[in-house]
Amino acid sequence: MVKMLQCLVVLVSLVVSVHGLDNGLALTPPMGWMSWERFRCNIDCKNQPNDCIGEKLFMDMADRMVEDGFKDAGYEYVNIDDCWASKERDSAGKLQADPDRFPSGIKKLADYVHSRGLKLGIYNDFGTKTCGGYPGSLGHLEVDAKTFAEWGVDMLKMDGCYADVKTMPQGYPNMTKALNATGRPILFSCSWPDYERASKIQPDYKLIAKNCNIWRNYIDIQDSWDSVLKIIDYYAQEQDTLAAVSAPGSFNDPDMLIIGDFSLSVEQAKAQMAMWSILAAPMLMSNDLRTISPEFREILLNKEVIQINQDPSGKMGKRVMQTQSHMEVWTRELSSNALAAVIFSRSQSAPAIFETTLENLKFPTTSKGYSVFDVTDNKPLGNYALNETLSFIVNPSGAVMFKATPIA
Ligand code: GLA
């Protein structure tokens, strides 16, 4: 009987591993660049040759990532979002890039991106059409997975427009299998739970985490602070469910970084960077790296903040405090018993003093207290016992982020 049970356990674990995502990718949140938020579905290459969805845009961004320090800071993926494809599949039923905008084809573009030491991402849709109206993958999952692998694609974002949401818990895992079957490690980003949420279906995050490396949970980010706040609200509301599935290989995706675009102030940009870091979120910038101003570039390149985002624990932080003065504190457990915290301000008033102790933030007891480092402004703050008061000045719609390491 025991033998039979043991056999069953082995069999079940085999089936699970064969059916699950098996690519060894995204052990820390993926970092890179994605076209959608900043460049949308601009297909007018005649009038806007530098800003349209075409091969030049992605080559330009790859160049900037390498030459302006983004690659060295960890940004790796150059991701094509919607509107890259031709409206028709080719005679063999394969997706093909729009020939005018991608005259060299996606394979050549992948070669170029790889030659710069980066990786290429692409976009498709689970339904009959992409959200922008280009050919969907329904009925073509295997051939599309093979095509992407042949082209040398390294990441796939699969959207969920024009699809029956109820079929997603079977359908997305079919794409996982098709990607696994290609033998090429392709990071898989699923929009599946976002479409379930929109249809008032509770996502099965265990199943999602088994099949996807990252997944969108909530509405699209727009170029506005209000949009950033809405996403943070949703993460706070769902934090227990979402934090439970954040781990190496599987991360919640609150959508792109809009730092360096038109709407965020410098303080708001620091706040988005700090929040995405504490949430263990993918760091996918959507901005114009050719014209980004130095203060935003510096925020995106903040090594200390990136290091917290990339902490190998893969844990997502949670909101642990809200004050009457519109401040919130979010904390995240890091490896080696360290912790990170963000003091996030929703105030529309003046810079304000915020005081707390590590004890108040529920940091675990240590024999000698913690050494505290302000990662937003890159300066050591000294050693603190659990009950000692820490004092910060937090700007309106801004954030202060610090790391606390137990003193050995
Ligand atoms: C959806 C997605 C966006 C983007 C667009 C493209 O709205 O959520 O991130 O990919 O489609 O059409």
**Which residue is listed with tokens 């297909």?**
43
Chain Cα centroid distance, residue 90: 32
Rounded to whole angstroms, the Cα distance separating 287 from 213 reads 23
Structural domains of the chain ordered from first start: 16-309 (3.20.20.70), 318-406 (2.60.40.1180)
Contact 321, 292 (CB under 8 A): no
> What is the tens place of the pLDDT at every residue in 200-221?
999 999 999 999 999 999 999 9
Helix (H, G, I), strand (E, B) or coil at 161: coil
Out of 63, 111, 204, 220, the active site residue is 220
Q: Give me the pLDDT at residue 21, please.
A: 86
Chain Cα centroid distance, residue 361: 26
> What is the tens place of the pLDDT at every residue in 84-135?
999 999 999 999 999 999 999 999 999 999 999 999 999 999 999 999 999 9
68 catalytic, yes or no? no
Pocket residue to mutate for ligand 1, from 84, 125, 159, 189, most atoms within 8 A of Cβ: 159
159 catalytic, yes or no? yes
* Cα(22) to centroid(ligand 1), Å: 26
Chain Cα centroid distance, residue 48: 28
Against a cut of 0.85, is the pTM above it?
A: yes
Pocket residue to mutate for ligand 1, from 156, 195, 220, 253, most atoms within 8 A of Cβ: 220
Helix (H, G, I), strand (E, B) or coil at 40: coil
Going by the DSSP 8-state scheme, the letter that residue 70 receives in this structure is H
What residue owns the CA closest to ligand 1's atom 6? Answer: 82
Closest CA to 317 of 252, 227, 365, 398: 252
Contact 143, 90 (CB under 8 A): no
3-state DSSP of 208-221: HHHHCCEEECCCCC
Out of 154, 159, 253, 255, the active site residue is 159
Closest CA to 316 of 347, 360, 282: 282
* Cα(216) to centroid(ligand 1), Å: 10
> What is the tens place of the pLDDT at every residue in 171-198?
999 999 999 999 999 999 999 999 999 9
Rounded to whole angstroms, the Cα distance separating 331 from 28 reads 18
